[in-house]
Amino acid sequence: MKLKRTVNQVFAIAKTDFLGIARNKTAIFFTLLFPLFFIIIIGFTFGTVGTGETNRIQVGAVNLDGTTIYVNGTVSHNSSIGDAFVQALKDVNFTVHEYAKYGDRDNNGTAAYDISRGQIKVAVVIPVNFTEALSYQYVDSLGVPIPTKAHLDLYTDPSDPTGSMIAQQSILGFISGFIEYYQESMISQIPESFQSYAKVLADPITVSTGEADIAGHPLRNIDFMVPSTLGLVLLWGGLNHASVSIATERTKGTFQRMIIAPVSPATVLVGKFISSLAIVYLSGAVMLISGVLLFQVNLYWNIPAIVLSVFLGALSAIGLGLIISSLAKNEEAANAITILISVPLQFFIGAFFPLSMMPEPAQIFGNVLPFTKLVTAMQSIMTKNLPFEAVMPEIIYMTISGLILFALGVIAYRLSLKRL
Amino acid sequence: MERDTEPMNLNDIEVDSVTKRFEDTVAVDNISMNVARGELFGLLGPNGAGKSTLTKMLCGMINPTSGIIKVGGYSIHKNPMKVKESLGVVPQDIVLYDYLNARENLAFFGRLYGLPGGKLKSRIEELLKFTQLDEKVAKRHISTYSGGMKRRVNIAAALLHEPQVILLDEPTAGLDPKNKLALWEIIRTLHKEGKTIMLTTHMMDEAEELCNQVAIMDKGKVIALGSPHQLIKKVKMENTITLVPDKITSKLIEAVKKISGVKRSYRAYNESEKIETLKIITKRAEDILPDIVSTILSVGTKILSVELSRVTLEDVFILLTGRSLREEEEQL
């Protein structure tokens, strides 16, 4: 009888709390529509990264090769190899902007100007003697060619290190291919018996690269990012809702009215936990389903493992939310503290950027967070299709941290009851 | 579960030597009082007198530093859940979920009190009828209600579990006269049904109109306890002249105080008419009235009305504390 009454109380609290979200347009936006917008944004931003597409990369080609120079005392303005280089850039599908000079950031119409305004990510400067150097036009007094290297300059946009790095690596890869093509055409002009030696001398090491098959299909960035968003859902939905819910009710007085009823503190907490958990699952489902429907993300659906992992992660998020809610004087304070905590945290859980790209202290900090463990576990289960046993370390970590944070949340909540 | 007090001797509220300290502040200072079953008891006093602290202790939100409190025969220490089941608390503010309608709000609070489905449904219907909220209104979100309608649902939410003891904290604060009278009628009906009601208010006219027992609190202590009639009898020998001047200044009050035969002169506030009045307590009202009128006119103040008033609980409070409730509120 008592158990039935407690269960009824728990569900009444959870339902009322949930309706507070469902009937509030702003709350609905942040709980359901914001995740949807977020997925759309990251899908369009990162959706094609990892597929080898180059047309997104904006390259500036400053081809000075046709400029008149003196070679061996005679005028030269040969630009055939420089032009071929630019054409090859276009042929491999880079988006190429052509310039007459590199210039400076204040000089409209030059490559530096467009880098400073984000129009191009990388500028390749082809020198005036590009063709002359590569076609052995520099000779000594006896007419013997003087070995002369052609030199390319690459300039990248320092305001966007990630985008610039991707663009620079792509261009370096292209140049490497261009050099190989050039070597082969030069070697083909020497006697055939020497050609194989010359090829080894010119290019003694060959490298082939390829992605390991860890998922059974080719992977894109978004295939990792969509399951990672479950970590963000914990921060946006679980932490945010748990921290603001009790504080809001305390400000409005409904919390006081609830606790003067014959309801135990544990009943109130379980009711609040269930509604926060429902919001996390709902918001997570929106993220995952929209990722699949809009961007054809390939995920593996080990539902029990996903549900359990999110539950354990939610223990930490909601526990932390309870601590904030209990410490905060009112709704505004709870909101401010939550934003102060959740906004920086979301950059350290590996959902936006891989932790490996961060400085060591940031990596250590990120690895301590239970939300990072959820991101890792979700990527392993949903993207890589690893078995549940493979994420046991993350599961154990989330269980322990969840229990600790939730217990601290309960203690803070009980202490806050004395302040009413 | 057995009661901590035998039903034969049952006082529905027993407060015995209760003190509540908040660090260095004594909010409630060693007070004792009993409220018998079926009584409509008024707890009076200005803001900061300790009424809210006492109310919070009665409903188990905070514990007393010392002393014993029993509600419905149950000790708040030994049987807090039983105390909560015996009590219906109507907070001063509207404490409802504004995104739920009246029916949903009542259902929520009913479930907290463990009412089973069928019983809950019938209680909601009874209370909607009792608080005169029709079906159409009951389906609208609380946020669309008028102040009076919200107050009625606020009260209904405390009555779902049919508590024997009802705590009403400033139930008519901020209401217009029409809604105030409607709420008084609800309170009277509950009293007729045999409920024990503790009404916390700083409106002396409300307590005088409704309560059969009152306790006046000031600075954490109970300074008077009895029926309004008994308390008023304490100042029966005095007469009160109530004047409505066009302005009340300290200079005017001091000038009146100097008139021979004036025992006390103070500024008061008529809650129902929302005007400031000058009250003068004297044993010889008719003799000194001409002197009072000429003194007031001599300081350049016009007199809008004069009447010989009956003694009120407000006068009792002034006599006991030397201050008016209005002065107390202005100081806060």
Per-residue model confidence as pLDDT tens digits over A154-170: 999 998 887 888 889 99
Any CB–CB contact under 8 A between A75 and chain B? Answer: no
Same-domain check for residues A252 and A327: yes
Cβ-defined contact of B87 to A256 (cutoff 8 Å): no
Residue A111 scores a pLDDT above 80 = yes
Look over chain B and give the mean of its residue pLDDT values, rounded to a whole number: 87
Å between A261 CA and nearest CA of chain B = 6
Cβ-defined contact of A263 to B111 (cutoff 8 Å): no
Same-domain check for residues A243 and A365: yes
Contact of B252 with B60, CB cutoff 8 Å: no
Contact of B240 with B209, CB cutoff 8 Å: no
Any CB–CB contact under 8 A between A20 and chain B? Answer: yes
Any CB–CB contact under 8 A between A286 and chain B? Answer: no
In angstroms, the Cα distances linking B183 to A116, A290, B161, B165, B177 are 71, 53, 20, 17, 10
Which pLDDT belongs to residue B83?
A: 93
pLDDT band at B331 (very low <50, low <70, confident <90, very high): very low
Last residue of a domain, one of A176, A202, A228: A202
Same-domain check for residues A161 and A231: no
Contact of B43 with B215, CB cutoff 8 Å: yes
Which positions in chain A touch B114 (Cβ < 8 Å)? 5, 8-9, 262
Same-domain check for residues A172 and A142: yes
Q: Mark which residues 249-268 of B lie under 8 Å from A by CB.
A: none
Which positions in chain A touch B91 (Cβ < 8 Å)? 253, 256-257
Lowest mean pLDDT among A172-181, B304-313, B319-328: B319-328
In a domain, A105, yes or no: yes
Fold of B237-310: Alpha-Beta Plaits (3.30.70)
In a domain, A211, yes or no: no
In a domain, A151, yes or no: yes
pTM of the model: 0.73
- Exposed, middle or buried: residue B272 (CB in 10 Å: 0-12, 13-18, 19+)? exposed
Percent of chain B's residues with pLDDT above 90: 44
Which pLDDT belongs to residue A213?
A: 77
Same-domain check for residues A63 and A172: yes
Written as one letter, the residue type at B71 is V
Any CB–CB contact under 8 A between A95 and chain B? Answer: no
In a domain, A291, yes or no: yes
Contact of B86 with B164, CB cutoff 8 Å: yes
Residue B107 scores a pLDDT above 90 = yes
Which pLDDT belongs to residue B158?
A: 94
Cβ-defined contact of B97 to A261 (cutoff 8 Å): no
Q: Is A400 or B236 the better-scoring residue by pLDDT?
A: A400
- Across the interface, of B56, B84, B95, the residue whose CB is closest to A262 is B84
What are the structural domain ranges in chain B? 7-227, 237-310
Q: Identify the CATH number of the domain in which residue A170 sits.
A: 3.40.1710
Same-domain check for residues A33 and A181: no
- Across the interface, of B56, B62, B112, the residue whose CB is closest to A263 is B112
Cβ-defined contact of A24 to B100 (cutoff 8 Å): no
Which positions in chain B touch A19 (Cβ < 8 Å)? 97, 99-100, 104
Any CB–CB contact under 8 A between B109 and chain A? Answer: yes
Any CB–CB contact under 8 A between B139 and chain A? Answer: no
Which pLDDT belongs to residue A27?
A: 81
Last residue of a domain, one of A202, A233, A268: A202
Cβ-defined contact of B93 to A5 (cutoff 8 Å): no
Last residue of a domain, one of A202, A235, A253: A202
Any CB–CB contact under 8 A between A27 and chain B? Answer: no
- Across the interface, of A5, A12, A260, the residue whose CB is closest to B108 is A12
Cβ-defined contact of A252 to B61 (cutoff 8 Å): no
Look over chain A and give the mean of its residue pLDDT values, rounded to a whole number: 88
Cβ-defined contact of A19 to B100 (cutoff 8 Å): yes
- Across the interface, of B87, B104, B112, the residue whose CB is closest to A9 is B112
Any CB–CB contact under 8 A between A415 and chain B? Answer: no
Which pLDDT belongs to residue B60?
A: 87
| pLDDT digit string, tens, across residues B29-62 | 999 999 999 999 999 988 788 998 999 999 988 8
Residue A140 scores a pLDDT above 60 = yes
Q: What value does the mean pLDDT take over residues A351-367?
A: 87
Residue of B nearest to A263 (CA): B112
Residue A419 scores a pLDDT above 80 = no
Residue of B nearest to A11 (CA): B111
Cβ-defined contact of B60 to A260 (cutoff 8 Å): yes
Give the orientation angle of helix A265-295 with respect to helix A240-252, to 10 degrees. Answer: 130
Which pLDDT belongs to residue A420?
A: 67
Same-domain check for residues A328 and A370: yes
Contacts of B127 (CB under 8 A, 6+ apart): B106, B156, B159, B160
Cβ-defined contact of A260 to B99 (cutoff 8 Å): no
Lowest mean pLDDT among A113-117, A265-269, A300-304, B285-289: B285-289
| pLDDT digit string, tens, across residues A57-80 | 899 999 999 899 988 888 888 999
Cβ-defined contact of A23 to B109 (cutoff 8 Å): no
How many domains does one find in chain A? Answer: 2
- Across the interface, of B95, B109, B157, the residue whose CB is closest to A252 is B95
Residue span of the structural domain in which A121 resides: 58-202
Contact of A273 with A312, CB cutoff 8 Å: no
What is the architecture, at CATH level 2, of domain B7-227? 3-Layer(aba) Sandwich (3.40)
Residue B332 scores a pLDDT above 60 = no
Residue of A nearest to B64 (CA): A418
Q: How far apart are CA A18 and CA B300, in angstroms?
A: 64
Which pLDDT belongs to residue A102?
A: 94
Which pLDDT belongs to residue B100?
A: 95
Same-domain check for residues A265 and A365: yes
Any CB–CB contact under 8 A between B114 and chain A? Answer: yes
Residue A355 scores a pLDDT above 50 = yes
Residue B125 scores a pLDDT above 90 = yes
Any CB–CB contact under 8 A between B144 and chain A? Answer: no
- Across the interface, of B95, B96, B99, the residue whose CB is closest to A19 is B99
H helices present in A161-220, as ranges: 161-187, 192-202
Cβ-defined contact of A262 to B112 (cutoff 8 Å): yes
Beta-bridge mates of residue A123: A60, A155
Q: What would the DSSP string read from start to end of B2-71?
A: --SS-GGG-EEEEEEEEEEEETTEEEEEEEEEEEETT-EEEEE--TTSSHHHHHHHHTTSS--SEEEEEE
Which positions in chain B touch A257 (Cβ < 8 Å)? 89, 91, 95, 109, 157
Same-domain check for residues A264 and A402: yes
- Across the interface, of A259, A261, A418, the residue whose CB is closest to B109 is A261
Same-domain check for residues A106 and A227: no
- Across the interface, of A24, A253, A262, the residue whose CB is closest to B81 is A262
Contact of B210 with B254, CB cutoff 8 Å: no
Which pLDDT belongs to residue B220?
A: 92
H or E element, residue A231? helix A221-233
Written as one letter, the residue type at A114 is D
| pLDDT digit string, tens, across residues B67-100 | 999 999 999 999 999 999 999 999 988 999 999 9
* Strand pairing class (A122-126; A153-156): antiparallel
Contact of A121 with A56, CB cutoff 8 Å: no
In a domain, A352, yes or no: yes
In a domain, A207, yes or no: no
- Across the interface, of A15, A257, A259, the residue whose CB is closest to B91 is A257
In a domain, A208, yes or no: no
Residue B166 scores a pLDDT above 90 = yes
Same-domain check for residues A23 and A141: no
Residue B1 scores a pLDDT above 60 = no
Which pLDDT belongs to residue A49?
A: 54
Residue of B nearest to A23 (CA): B99
Same-domain check for residues A224 and A177: no
Residue B310 scores a pLDDT above 70 = no
Residue of B nearest to A8 (CA): B111
Residue A248 scores a pLDDT above 60 = yes
Any CB–CB contact under 8 A between B304 and chain A? Answer: no
Cβ-defined contact of B100 to A12 (cutoff 8 Å): no
- Across the interface, of A15, A23, A262, the residue whose CB is closest to B113 is A262
